[in-house]
Amino acid sequence: MKQAFILVLAFLLTINTKAQPPRAFEVKVTGKGQPIIFIPGATCGGDEWDETVAHLGGKYQCHVLTLAGYAGTRPLENGPYLETYKRQIEQYIADNKLEHVIIVGHSIGGFLAIWMASEMKDRLEKVVVVDALPFYALVMNPNAKAGYDEAKAQATYERYSKMDSAALKVNQSFMARFMCLDSTRWNKIVAWGMRSDRKTMAYTMTEMMSNDLREAIANIKVPVLVMSAWAPNPQYPAFTKESGLKTYEDQYKACKSCTIHITDHSKHFIMYDEPQWFYKELDTFIAAK
């Protein structure tokens, strides 16, 4: 009887485990006080925020996420990826009874932050967006239309799948140099990409490019600080600080609670390229009443 009971219990536990939805992120919690949820960019690990968390000195309860499939974490079994991330982060906030939440998101994490802010009716107090736009595709194609393209996602995945480790490292090294001025950070950025799930990389970027949140952000009621990256580039003289700011202002114009501040000399990883500017902006915004 005892053996039969153990077998039945094991069977029930197996069913229960299979019934659980795949976990959309890993989380590390440190500090005490008002909760801040940090969401990293595409392929990045939660350690992207290590220096930022250290700068805050334990004065806030920091919930640092690493999204499933990025930087060595177990990937989701199926998409839609971004919607699953969003839904489970919202559930995490509710399950842990977090109140007056501040969300800080970089890149794809910033996109998720404004998406959540456009839908959440309570629990949220402020949002910080680090170099993210409501409709990324428009930057590369002025005629871009919203709408998910499964074929494009699959093609991108197939392109990644054909790369051996050496080719992927070349690809990720190019991206690191393109997105970050601080050369001491390149190896870490490359390492995150090398450890990321290739399907997750392809599908999350395609999903973000396919979604247009420019109208949805009109529903945001909480204060939002948008940090826009800009650095002079002799190869692109037409890309001035003024033109970069205008791109952000055009895309965020429906959000009446959004404030946009632009850097003087930073690429995509603002927290690495202009850390003191970044910390000052962050401190001032989250401390404001």
Domain boundaries, the chain: 23-134+214-287
Q: What is the pLDDT of residue 16?
A: 47
Query: Residues of 188-227 as b/e, b for ≥16 C-beta within 10 angstroms?
Result: bbbbbbbebbbbbbbbbbbbbbbbbbbebbeebeebbbbb
Q: How much is the pLDDT for 288? A: 93
The domain made up of 23-134+214-287 is a member of CATH 3.40.50.1820: yes
pLDDT at 274: 98
**What is the reported pLDDT for 265?**
94
pLDDT in tens, 85-111: 999 999 999 999 999 999 999 999 999
Instruction: Give residues with Cβ within 8 angstroms of 21, minimum separation 6.
Output: 84, 88
- Output the pLDDT for position 12: 45
Give the contacts of 128 (CB within 8 A, at least 6 positions apart): 102, 103, 104, 105, 113, 224, 225, 227, 282, 285, 286
Q: What is the DSSP letter of 39?
A: E
| Count of H-run helices and E-run strands, the chain | 12, 7
**Segments of the chain scoring below 50 in pLDDT:** 1-2, 4-18
| pTM of structure | 0.91
* pLDDT for position 94: 97
Per-residue pLDDT tens over the stretch 205-238: 999 999 999 999 999 999 999 999 999 888 888 8
Residues 144-153: contacts with CB within 8 Å, 24+ apart?
A: 144/209, 146/210, 146/211, 146/212, 147/210, 148/80, 148/206, 148/207, 148/210, 148/211, 149/206, 149/210, 152/206, 153/202, 153/203, 153/206, 153/207
